[in-house]
Every structure is written in structure tokens, then in C-alpha cells.
């Protein structure tokens, strides 16, 4: 298949992404493509607007009893809050929960779209203890699914946000939005066996770099990487090829070094 056909397929996937019918793993790949391609980004915005308009057709009459019941429940809560003088909790600084940048993400070797399988069959035959263990496991999986979904939502939003800063680098783009930094690579060269890519960050005003996450792209050279750092404190980022497990300092010439100015 030639490059034009590949590109056309990706543009079709952009439409699927705009409509919201891509599974998570594919959505990540397409988001990386869109982040790196101006034409794809324009088409995405156009088609997303068309897809969003579909919502207008969803409005349904709600029977008066149901409508009143929902409203009464909500307004009871609202009045209670208002009476208690609660104040909207405006977020200051990072708008996202700490766990997003916690060890889970940092240690996860950086490709943020992990696959979590949802068990489909809850087999509760057998003894009660086994069923309870199974239920606890499923609860954990569902909670993890929920966290993954929120994380994906945030990452995809940041990658495509018009107000994100974008820095072209070899094989991709560095994207900075608010206090968050992402790498969106679409054409990383394959790695030799036993090697990984490793990210490096240099604090503002410093010439030395600190090690960050390691990651491996997929077979197409695509990787979406969230750096577990506060972007407002970073002066430059870099990537190099390192042994598995990462290094404390770069041992090869970096693939790129990009000041974030």
C-alpha cells in the first residue's frame, strides 16, 4: 500500500474519531496523527462540528412526572448547598486530580492507553468466598476502567486543544498545555532489541537533564507519552535511545533536544 493510500485511511479514521466510534487504542493513534498533521486537524474540527450537531436531534419529550421527579431531587440538593453557603470550588493550578500524575502514570512506561479487559461473565457459581473475591476483582477492574477513561479523555483533549503549544521534533510533536507535557510521535524508528526510548527533562534555567519515563512505540512508530512533570518548571525536553530500564544520564546522542520557549 502506498503512502497516499495510508494517508487516506488515516483521514477516514479522523472522521471516525470525530464521530466517537473508535476504540481507545485506535483513538490514541489517530489523536497522535491529528496532533502532527495540520490538514488532519482542520478536517477533524470540521467533521467534529458536524458530529456535534447531531446532538440537536436527540431531544426527547420527558413525561411530566419523571421530569418533575428529577428536578425536585436536583433542586433539593442545590437548595441544600445554597443554604449551606457552599462556594464553588474553583480549581487553582492543576485542574486535574493528583493521581493522574502519580506513580501509576509515571511508572507505566508512558503509553497512556493501556488495555483493560472487562470480564464479561460473572460466574457466581461456587462458594461464596470465591464469588466475593470475584466481585471485588471486578469492582477493581471497573474502577480502573473508569480511571483509564478519564485519563484518556483528558489526554485526548489536551492533544487536540487549540490552545496547546506545539513544538515540532523528529518524528512527532511535543505538546504543552497548561502544566502538562506530552510527546505525540507518529514515525519513530524501530528500536534495537533490548533498547527503549527515554524522555529527559531540563528544569528552567538548568543545563542538566533529569531522567523521565521510558517508552516503546507500536509497530507503526506511534507513541503517545505523558510526562509526569509540571510543564511550568521545564525548560527543555529530550529523547534518547537507552537500555531497557532506562539510564540515569543519556548514553546516546539524543534523538532531539527541544527547548520549550
Partner 1 sequence: MDPGVRLMERVLARDASAFEALYDGYHRLVFGIGLRMLGDPSMAEDLTQNVFLKIWTAPDAFRGGSFVAWVSRVARNRALDTLRSKAVHPESEIPADLPLEGALDDDVFSRLDAQRVRDALAQLPPEQRGLIEMGFFGGATHQELARRTDTPLGTVKTRIRSGLKRMRESLGERVSR
What is the crossing angle of helices 24-35 and 128-160, to 10°?
Answer: 10
- Residue from 58, 128, 129, 219 touching partner 1 (CB under 8 A): that is 58
Q: What stretch of H or E contains 139?
A: helix 128-160
DSSP annotation of 111 reads: B
- For partner 1, the closer of residues 86 and 208 by Cβ is 86
Rg of the Cα atoms in the chain: 22
Task: Say whether 127 sits in a helix, a strand or coil.
Answer: coil
In the complex, the smallest distance separating the C-beta of residue 232 from partner 1, rounded to whole angstroms, is 19
Identity of the residue, 89 or 207, whose beta carbon is nearer to partner 1 in the bound complex:
89
Taking the least distance from each CB to partner 1, the nearer of 51 and 108 is 51
User: Measured from the CB atom, is 49 or 249 closer to partner 1?
Assistant: 49
In the complex, least distance from residue 242 CB atom to partner 1, rounded to whole angstroms: 31
* Contact residues for 209 (Cβ-Cβ < 8 A; gap 6+): 200, 201, 202, 236, 238, 249, 250
Q: How far is the CB of 246 from partner 1 (least distance, A)?
A: 29
Q: Which of 7, 24, 134, 195 binds partner 1 (CB under 8 A)?
A: 24
CA 165 to chain centre: 16
Residue 160 Cβ vs partner 1, minimum distance, rounded to whole Å? 5
Report, in Å, the least distance between residue 127 CB and partner 1. Answer: 22
How far, in whole angstroms, is CA 100 from its chain's centroid?
A: 10
Q: Which of residues 223-242 bind partner 1 (CB under 8 A)?
A: none
Shorter beta-carbon distance to partner 1: residue 15 or 199: 15
DSSP annotation string for 149-216 = HHHHHHHHHHHH-TTSEEEEETTEEEEEETTEEEEEES-PPPPPTTEEEEEEEEETT-SS-EEEEEE-
Stretch that binds partner 1, among 128-136, 139-147, 185-193, 223-231 (CB under 8 A): 139-147
Indicate which single residue of 1, 6, 7, 23 sits in contact with partner 1 (rule: CB under 8 A).
23
Residues 147-186 interacting with partner 1 (rule: CB under 8 A): 149, 152-153, 156-157, 160-162
Query: What residues between 65 and 124 interact with partner 1 by CB under 8 A?
Result: 66-67, 69-71, 73-75, 77-79, 81-82, 86-91, 95, 115-120, 122
Element (H, E) at 225: strand 223-227
Q: Which residues, 6 or more positions from 206, have their beta carbon under 8 angstroms from its beta carbon?
A: 235
**Under rule CB under 8 A, residue 135 binds partner 1:** no
Binding residues for partner 1, rule CB under 8 A, total 76
Amino acid at each position: 500500500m502506498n503512502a497516499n493510500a495510508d494517508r487516506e485511511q488515516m483521514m477516514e479514521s479522523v472522521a471516525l474519531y470525530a464521530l466517537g466510534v473508535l476504540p481507545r487504542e485506535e483513538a490514541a493513534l489517530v489523536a497522535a496523527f491529528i496532533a502532527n498533521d495540520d490538514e488532519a486537524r482542520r478536517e477533524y474540527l470540521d467533521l467534529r462540528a458536524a458530529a456535534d450537531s447531531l446532538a440537536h436531534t436527540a431531544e426527547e419529550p420527558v413525561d411530566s412526572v419523571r421530569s418533575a421527579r428529577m428536578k425536585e431531587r436536583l433542586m433539593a440538593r442545590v437548595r441544600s448547598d445554597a443554604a449551606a453557603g457552599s462556594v464553588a470550588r474553583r480549581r487553582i493550578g492543576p485542574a486535574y486530580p493528583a493521581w493522574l500524575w502519580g506513580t501509576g502514570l509515571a511508572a507505566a512506561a508512558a503509553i497512556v492507553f493501556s488495555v483493560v479487559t472487562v470480564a464479561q461473565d460473572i460466574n457466581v457459581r461456587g462458594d461464596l468466598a470465591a464469588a466475593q473475591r470475584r466481585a471485588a476483582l471486578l469492582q477493581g477492574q471497573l474502577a480502573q476502567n473508569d480511571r483509564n477513561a478519564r485519563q484518556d479523555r483528558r489526554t485526548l483533549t489536551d492533544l487536540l486543544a487549540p490552545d496547546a503549544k506545539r513544538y515540532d521534533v523528529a518524528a512527532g510533536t511535543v505538546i504543552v498545555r497548561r502544566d502538562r507535557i506530552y510527546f505525540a510521535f507518529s514515525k519513530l524508528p524501530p528500536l534495537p532489541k533490548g533498547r527503549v526510548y527515554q524522555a529527559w527533562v531540563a528544569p528552567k534555567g538548568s543545563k542538566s537533564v533529569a531522567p523521565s519515563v521510558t517508552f516503546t512505540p507500536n509497530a507503526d512508530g506511534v507513541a503517545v507519552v505523558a510526562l509526569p512533570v509540571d510543564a511550568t518548571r521545564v525548560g527543555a525536553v529530550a529523547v534518547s535511545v537507552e537500555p531497557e530500564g532506562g539510564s540515569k544520564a543519556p548514553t546516546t546522542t539524543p534523538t532531539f533536544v527541544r527547548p520549550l520557549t
